[in-house]
Amino acid sequence: MATNIGYESKPWLKSYEKGVPESINYEEFSMPDYLEKSAKDFPDDTAMVFVGYKMTYSQFKDQVDRFATCLTDFGIKKGDAVSILLPNSIPCVVAYYSILKIGAIVVMNNPLYSDPELEHQFTDSDSKVLITLDALGNRMINLRPKTKIKQIVYMGIGDFLNPIKRFLGKKLKKFPFADVKAAPDVYRWMDCIAKYQPNPPKVKLTFDDIAMYQYTGGTTGVSKGVILTHGNLSKQVQQIAAWFPTFQRGGKQSMLGALPYFHVFGLSTTMNNCVRYGWNQILIPRPQPQPLLEAIREYKPTFTPLVPTMYIGMLNHPDLKKTDMSVIKGAFSGSAPLPVEIIQQFQKLTGTFISEGFGMTETCPVTHMNPFNGKQKVGSVGLPCSDTLARIVDLDNGVTDMPIGQPGELIVKGPQVMRGYKGMPEETANVLKDGWMYTGDIATMDEEGYFYIVDRKKDMIISGGYNVYPRDIDEVYYGNPKVEEACSIGIPDATRGENVKLFVVLKEGQTATAKEMIEYGKAHLAAYKLPSEVEFRKELPKTNVGKILRKELRAEELKKRKG
């Protein structure tokens, strides 16, 4: 029988790892303060590695101060927005800290976005300066008149290669080398760093000051600017640090910087986390299986925060055989559910468990994590972290707490929750109620306070009156040895309301039929959950963070059926 344990009793506390506090006494340190501290404590330690180029903490701080001086000369003041449109790279990290240091507001943008998507984010944020890549330079110069952007600063990956690599890179077209046309107020990154002295104005930052407009993925329509404060960013890294009481600052630890920093998951868990700890971040501009495995072989990272597609890609890559994965001491996953099969396969290979967590752009992002040295439950996103409350509420009324084990909407409250959406009071009021953030995710909680994400509220399929969670179906097919990726959606059906359609990407060299896949499902799924249609694809549409776009598959399907 379902039991009711109220969230007020915080059942998760008894499952906390030894040394993890219920509540944190926060340091009034902004992220630029943490950089100052790490540069003072570990000046000669490596802060970043990028295409073989190493930068120490003292060099990192020096460049941040120089670029902050440059931005000030451009006319940027406290409260002005500055856009970054870069892959993970040294200028991306340096520009981020320079903008924060002078009290300006960072706007991270995805380099793979189209011009209309970028135009929306540039104009919505009122960005005044743009830092971008040489390969995007001419496009951005053409887009600039539609925005309030005045100055454009561009970097080239080639700027960081040694002369031999640069020559080979150009010859083999390994790295993009692009000529940017001459235009007013357009500058090279390296010239700006060389021109300005490291003496920016001193700007007082408080935890209430806005640090970022972080745009949501836009998979549910127009991307919204999430307002994150200096307090949100700082308290989030302090929450992460409190969750791992055995981790020490310094000590020449390194982290794989593969999660895109334009996404808040990579930004907090890797970039800001490394700066707080004084660790090295190994920057991966293209997080494909081959460069990821190359970086693991060359730099032996201690920690790997990644998303499911990155783990799946590495486990299915031929280079895995020549890569010693046992160097990894901590592996973390988020942004999308991780198939249980993958967790088990990875653990067998590395001796390390992939610890799953949960978060969203609106929560900076982490709200839940599995204990690092404690009970880790496969398939669970773990426990609410310090100072975070979580509830499972009725899907219809959004207020009644659900009994243990019963699905409902996950809502959270904590210091990492956003202030709201920029210029969207109605949208803000829809998700923020009495300080509670309504996640839109369907979840359950067990007796020990571990949370499980069942599905997205919007993704639920209703077939013959039954609630069908696509994740349950996907999970089954990830267990099929022929399947590399699987994604199920609801399709209209005259009698049942909706049926299940399954999209499958097979592992290299494998063949299968739709009939075979449906037969496989029969052994694992209730009849009403069985796919009625199966479509094989070479690849599935994904966000740049590697999350499969279920909504895009559904939209394609509905369009096809209407057509």
What gap in Å lies between CA 490 and CA 107, rounded to an integer?
A: 35
Mean pLDDT of 331-337: 82
Between the alpha carbon of residue 466 and those of residues 469, 492, 497, 526, the distances in Å are: 10, 14, 10, 11
Is residue 304 within 8 Å of 332, Cβ to Cβ? yes
For tokens 């949208």, name the residue: 427
In this prediction, residue 1 carries a pLDDT of: 37
pLDDT tens digit string along 387-397? 999 999 998 89
Residues found in the chain: 563
Domain 461-562 has CATH 3.30.70.260: no
Q: What confidence category does residue 459 fall into, taking pLDDT thresholds of 50, 70 and 90?
A: confident
Q: Is the pLDDT of residue 303 over 60?
A: yes
In this prediction, residue 332 carries a pLDDT of: 92
Burial of 427 (0-12, 13-18, 19+ CB in 10 A): middle
pLDDT tens digit string along 363-416? 999 999 999 999 999 889 999 999 999 999 998 899 999 999 999 999 999 999
For tokens 């609801």, name the residue: 490
Share of the chain above pLDDT 90, in %: 72
In this prediction, residue 379 carries a pLDDT of: 85
Q: Is the pLDDT of residue 170 over 60?
A: no
Element (H, E) at 256: strand 254-257
Mean pLDDT of 235-248: 96
Q: Is the pLDDT of residue 203 over 90?
A: yes
In this prediction, residue 220 carries a pLDDT of: 43
Q: What angle do CA 433, 435, 440 make, to 5 degrees?
A: 55
**By mean pLDDT, which of 318-322, 376-380, 415-419, 481-485 is the weakest?**
376-380
Element (H, E) at 499: strand 497-506
3-state class (DSSP) for residue 464: coil
In this prediction, residue 199 carries a pLDDT of: 97
What gap in Å lies between CA 310 and CA 345, rounded to an integer?
A: 14
What gap in Å lies between CA 366 and CA 332, rounded to an integer?
A: 12
Q: Is the pLDDT of residue 139 over 70?
A: yes
Q: What are the residue ranges of helices labelled H in 107-188?
A: 115-125, 134-143, 163-172
In this prediction, residue 396 carries a pLDDT of: 87
- What are the phi and psi torsion angles at 304 (to 5°)? -130, 90
Is residue 408 within 8 Å of 394, Cβ to Cβ? yes
More confident site: 98 or 551: 98
In this prediction, residue 173 carries a pLDDT of: 55
Q: What are the residue ranges of helices labelled H in 390-530?
A: 425-431, 470-478, 514-522
Q: Is the pLDDT of residue 219 over 90?
A: no
Q: Which residues of 227-252 are buried (b: 16+ CB within 10 A; e: fewer)?
A: bbbbbbbbbbbbbbbbbbeebeeeee
Q: What confidence category does residue 284 fall into, taking pLDDT thresholds of 50, 70 and 90?
A: very high
More confident site: 468 or 318: 318
**Domain ranges, ordered by start, for the chain:** 461-562
Q: CA nearest 83: which of 12, 164, 3, 154?
A: 154
For tokens 């506390």, name the residue: 13
Q: Is the pLDDT of residue 253 over 80?
A: yes
For tokens 């500055």, name the residue: 82
Q: The pTM is what? A: 0.85
Q: Which amino acid is present at 14?
A: K
Q: Is the pLDDT of residue 2 over 50?
A: no
**By mean pLDDT, which of 51-65, 104-118, 203-217 is the weakest?**
104-118
What gap in Å lies between CA 130 and CA 134, rounded to an integer?
A: 12
Mean pLDDT of 405-428: 96
Q: What share of the chain is helix, strand, coil (3-state, %, to 5)?
A: 35, 25, 40
Q: Is the pLDDT of residue 455 over 90?
A: no
